[in-house]
Structure 1
Amino acid sequence: MTITQVPGTYNIVGSNQDKNGIAYKGVLELALNEHNRIVAKWLINDTQEQLGTGFFKDNILVINFNYKGEDTKLYKGVAVYKCITKDLLDGFWSEKHGNPLYLGEERCYRVSTQQRELVN
């Protein structure tokens, strides 16, 4: 897989970085900037926006992300995805102040162009 195949829209299913692994759903938008670095934007459960930047090598995608919590504090973390195919990413993530005994998990499924047109 090449870096130019990574950009797109992905539906995500994940679990949080805690003992209960509370599930969530969302959308991940991946794009490339002028330096061929990854620019990411998550929308979790239709309410929480997270932003990140990262890089891609050997079918591994690494993104440093941040978001403002409900308490207005800035939270930071890193997400790591293995690109199983161009349409499937399998990953894990951790926040700086999350429970160090656990990792969050996320699976990302590319939304086809036809699916995007049906939504719009």
Structure 2
Amino acid sequence: MKVNDLIGKYTIKGQNQDAFKSTYDGTLELSVDAHQRIVALWNISGDQVQKGTGFFKDNILVINFNYKNEEHQVFKGVVVYKCISKDVLDGFWSEKHGDPNYLGLEQAFRIKKSNNLLN
């Protein structure tokens, strides 16, 4: 698999880095910059945007991400995905100020374009 195989949009389902195992869903869009680095854009639960950059090697994708909360505080973390295929990513993540007793979990599934046309 090559880095360009990962370009596209994915639905995501995840579990937060907390004792409550609270869940979330959203989308993840992956693109590649001029240096063949991954550029990531998450939309979590329709109202939180997270951005990141990373790299891909040996079917492992690593992305450093950040986002701002409602009070404009910046949160940073890293996510590591095992690329099961170009359509399925299985990951875990941690934020700098998250609960160190837990890891967040996230799975991403490629959104495939439908070839069906409605008349």
Q: TM-score range by the shorter chain?
A: over 0.9
- What's the CA shift for 1:86? 0.9
Match of 1:53 in 2: 53
Q: Is 1:73 matched up with 2:73?
A: yes
Match of 2:99 in 1: 99
SS in 1 for 2:46: coil
Q: Cα RMSD between the aligned structures? A: 1.4
Higher helix share: 1
Q: Percent identity?
A: 57
Larger Rg: 2
Please give the per-residue CA displacement for 1:24-59, whole angstroms capped at 9, x wherever unaligned.
000000000000000000000000000000000000
CA distance in 2, matches of 1:78, 1:4: 21
Gaps of 5+ in 1: none
Runs of 4+ in 1 over 4 A off after TM superposition: none
TM-score between the two structures when normalised by the length of structure 2: 0.95
- What's the CA shift for 1:70? 1.8
CA distance in 2, matches of 1:70, 1:98: 17
CA distance in 1, matches of 2:102, 2:109: 23
CA distance in 1, matches of 2:62, 2:34: 18
Gaps of 5+ in 2: none
CA distance in 2, matches of 1:72, 1:17: 20
Q: Is 1:44 matched up with 2:68?
A: no
Paired residues, what number? 117
